[in-house]
């Protein structure tokens, strides 16, 4: 399927995720089945709610899972609370320790607060008092609101927050997604934003979830949810090139059957694996993603392909494109163990520098074959450390500009901002 080199103006159809390449996000239930009405959900034999709030579905967690001992959990909470009290100092001077603790898993009781600090969305909220309520009062564009309303009941229908039609979870989700279309009218609404916003709502109130979503869309995954979806296409090319380095067997298999990365990794990347992995794995991936940025998304995808396509025995079962796509679209939870997945993610040698080098190569190829990109591939920041450094540079620029003599003010400001933009792209 070919894609335009320049995205069209936002319209209702651009909210869909490339019809024809993946089954629509709007048509899938939590477990990959179609969930169309309350009666279907209410007709299920409902098991007890698991510790994550799921009533059933493929992401329901079995009670036999091992829990962390109470005393260990309490010690971890105390360490995180200590970090919260001196957050900027920890990021500046002891970031490796913060990263290690994110890789171990953020305590569930503090996860929402930690995500807000890691993404810097808490500071964004504090800098914009009353903005969310102001956005809520705006009427919004009917073309986006209609699509959002149709999508509400499709987000985690087996989770207690979203199971009831018109319940508080769906109402808050509507508020967030509507507010974003008003906050960024040039982007509007993309269906992949709904599961991302829903995960955030499971861990924090609506206003905090909104600003966290803004940071994901603008800093962590810029361009992913824009019309035309150029950024995700470009990252698909980067991803496929990295696969050739990390798992040649999987690369050759996919190339043999002409399975383009956009066919299987779109939902993975745009939803940050929230519809793909067992829930305990989703949370661990998000903990690392907020700390380390998009490299975690690349690593998870590469690890999954290595696990599913990385041996002769596994490939014997996949004799064609259809069988391979079925395997990639519906990953069995039995194939994924949390401890193994996390260990492979943290040890995979795919660095920020490698991603950026490959990005430069793919941007050049894109321009040669399709023309200029309409989004800026250098805008994304690799996790909380990069966001902190970006913020610190911005503060330094403001300080220098404010102290400059009036005669030099305009010249100084222009030169500093130019340097700031250049250095941001080089992160």
- 204 within a domain of the structure (yes/no): yes
260 and 286 in a single domain? The answer is: yes
Residues 334 and 271 in one domain: yes
CATH number for the domain that contains residue 312: 1.10.472.80
Q: Same domain for 360 and 240?
A: yes
For residues 423 and 134, the model is more confident at 134
**What percentage of residues in the chain have a pLDDT greater than 70?**
81
pLDDT at residue 214, as a whole number:
97
In a domain, residue 100? The reply is no
Residue 56 maps to a domain = yes
* Distance set, CA 81 to CA 102, 114, 120 (Å): 13, 9, 17
Domains identified in the chain, total number: 3
* Alpha-carbon Rg for the chain in angstroms: 22
User: Within a domain: residue 405?
Assistant: yes
Q: Which of the residue ranges 53-57, 178-182, 270-274, 293-297 would you say has the lowest mean pLDDT?
A: 53-57
Final residue belonging to a domain, choices 350, 370, 390 = 370
Q: What is the pLDDT of residues 300-314, one digit of tens each?
A: 999 999 999 988 888
Judge whether 250 lies within some domain.
yes
> Do residues 182 and 315 both lie within one domain?
no
Q: Are residues 208 and 302 in the same domain?
A: no
Q: What is the pLDDT of residues 103-140, one digit of tens each?
A: 999 999 999 999 999 999 999 999 999 999 999 999 98
Identify whether residues 386 and 366 lie together within a single domain: no
Look up the domain containing 253 and give its range: 230-370
Would you say residue 70 lies in a domain? no
d(CA 57, CA 158): 6
Arithmetic mean of pLDDT, 138-160: 93
The two structure tokens encoding residue 111: 């996860």
342, 237: one domain: yes
Write the CA distances from 163 to 23, 149, 246, integer angstroms: 22, 15, 40
| pLDDT of res. 423 | 45
Question: What one-character DSSP code corresponds to residue 216?
Answer: I
Checking if the pLDDT of 90 tops 80, the result is yes
222: left (phi over 0), alpha (psi -120 to 50) or beta: beta
User: Are 316 and 352 in a shared domain?
Assistant: yes
Domain boundary among 189, 220, 251: 220
Whether residues 43 and 188 share a domain: the answer is yes
More confident residue, 377 or 336: 336
Final residue in a domain of this structure, among 220, 250, 278: 220
Length of the chain: 427
Considering the domain architecture, whether residues 211 and 234 belong to the same structural domain is answered as: no
């Amino acid at each position: 399927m070919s894609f335009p080199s320049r995205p069209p103006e936002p319209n209702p159809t651009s909210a869909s995720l490339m019809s024809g390449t993946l089954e629509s996000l709007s048509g899938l239930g939590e477990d990959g089945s179609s969930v169309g009405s309350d009666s279907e959900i209410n007709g299920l034999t409902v098991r007890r709610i698991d510790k994550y709030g799921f009533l059933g579905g493929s992401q329901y967690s079995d009670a036999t899972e091992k829990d962390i001992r109470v005393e260990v959990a309490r010690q971890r909470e105390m360490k995180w609370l200590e970090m919260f009290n001196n957050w900027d100092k920890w990021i500046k001077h002891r970031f490796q320790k913060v990263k290690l603790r994110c890789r171990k898993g953020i305590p569930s009781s503090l996860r929402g607060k930690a995500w807000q600090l890691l993404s810097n969305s808490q500071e964004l909220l504090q800098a914009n008092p009353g903005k969310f309520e102001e956005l809520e009062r705006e009427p919004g564009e009917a073309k986006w609101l209609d699509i959002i309303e149709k999508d509400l009941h499709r987000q985690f229908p087996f989770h207690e927050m979203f199971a009831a039609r018109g319940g508080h979870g769906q109402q808050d989700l509507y508020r967030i997604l509507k507010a974003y279309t008003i906050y960024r009218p040039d982007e509007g609404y993309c269906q992949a934003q709904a599961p991302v916003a829903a995960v955030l709502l499971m861990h924090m109130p609506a206003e905090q979830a909104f600003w966290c979503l803004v940071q994901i869309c603008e800093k962590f995954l810029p361009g992913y949810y824009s019309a035309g979806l150029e950024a995700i296409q470009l990252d698909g090319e980067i991803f496929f090139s990295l696969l050739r380095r990390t798992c040649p067997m999987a690369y050759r298999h996919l190339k043999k059957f002409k399975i383009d990365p956009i066919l299987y990794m779109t939902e993975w990347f745009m939803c940050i694996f929230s519809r793909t992995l067992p829930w305990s794995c989703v949370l661990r991936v998000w903990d690392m993603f907020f700390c380390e940025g998009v490299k975690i998304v690349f690593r998870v995808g590469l690890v999954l392909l290595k696990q599913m396509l990385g041996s002769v025995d596994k490939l014997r079962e996949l004799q064609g494109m259809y069988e391979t796509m079925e395997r990639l679209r519906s990953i069995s939870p039995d194939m994924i163990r949390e401890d193994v997945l996390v260990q492979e993610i943290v040890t995979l040698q795919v660095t920020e520098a490698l991603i950026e080098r490959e990005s430069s190569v793919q941007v050049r190829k894109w321009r040669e074959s399709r023309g200029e990109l309409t989004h800026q591939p250098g805008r994304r920041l690799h996790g909380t450390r990069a966001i902190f450094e970006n913020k610190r540079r911005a503060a330094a620029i403001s300080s220098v500009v404010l102290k400059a003599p009036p005669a030099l003010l305009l010249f100084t400001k222009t030169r500093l901002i130019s340097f700031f933009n250049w250095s941001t792209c080089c992160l």
